[in-house]
Structure 1
C-alpha cells in the first residue's frame, strides 16, 4: 500500500485496482477515477470543475463530504445523509469509516460500487423533514434553506 499525492491542471487520471493508504489530489478541470478499497485515509480531493469518481468494494464504509458551489455527492451504497446545506453535503456510508472529502467549485463526488450493480440508495429527496424542522426551530438554518433541503 502507498500514499498518493498528485496535482494536475486538465489531465484526467484513471487509476485501476490500486491499494492506497491515503490520497491528496488537486486538479483544475481534470477528472479523477480511482478504483480501490479504502484504508484509514484520509482521501482528500480539491478541484475547480473536475469530478472525482471512486469505484469501491461493496463493503465500503466511509464518511464522505463535499464542499461546493454547484457540485453533487452521489453514493451507490447504503448511506445516511448527515447534512445537506448551502455549499456542503455529508453522508455516512454503511456506518462510517475513512474520510473522503472533495472541495470544489462545480465538481461532483461519486462513490460507486466497483462490482457493477449499485446497491439501492435512499432517494436524497426522502429527507428527514422532522430533523430539518428542528434545525429551523433551533436557528441553525433559515426557513428558506430548510425548504430547499426538503425539496431535495
Structure 2
C-alpha cells in the first residue's frame, strides 16, 4: 500500500463508509482503509482473494440450501466479516463494520415458478445497488479508445 497514499484523497471524514466492487478488493485493503484512514467499507470480493482467511460453506452447499441462504464468518485477526450469499449465484461480501444481520426480504423473479418470490438478503443490497448501477452505466457508455499510427 506504499504507492497508494492518494487512494482516499476525496474522503476526509473519519468513520465514513465506502461501498465498492470486487475488482481490486482484498482483505488487506479493507483492513488498511479501516486502520489507517478510519474508512469503513462494504464490498463484494472474489473467492480466490480471501487467501484462506476463513472457511465458508461451499457453493454446492449453499445451492442445496436454496435461494436466499447465506453463511458468515468473522475474521478477528483482520477485523472483517465475510459473507457468502446465494441469490442467482453465490455472492461473496466483505465488510469492516457490520455483519449480515439484520436480514431483509427482497422480491425476486423465479423462473422455475414463473412468479415473484420473497428472498432473504443480508443488508448488502441496501447500499450496493448504486455500485452495480454505476458499473452498468459505464459498460453502456464506454468510449472506444482509438489511436492512429
Normalized per residue, which structure has more helix?
Answer: 2
- Interval of TM-score (by shorter of Structure 1 and Structure 2): under 0.3
TM-score, normalization: structure 1?
0.26
Query: TM-score, with normalisation over the residues of structure 2?
Result: 0.27
Larger Rg: 2
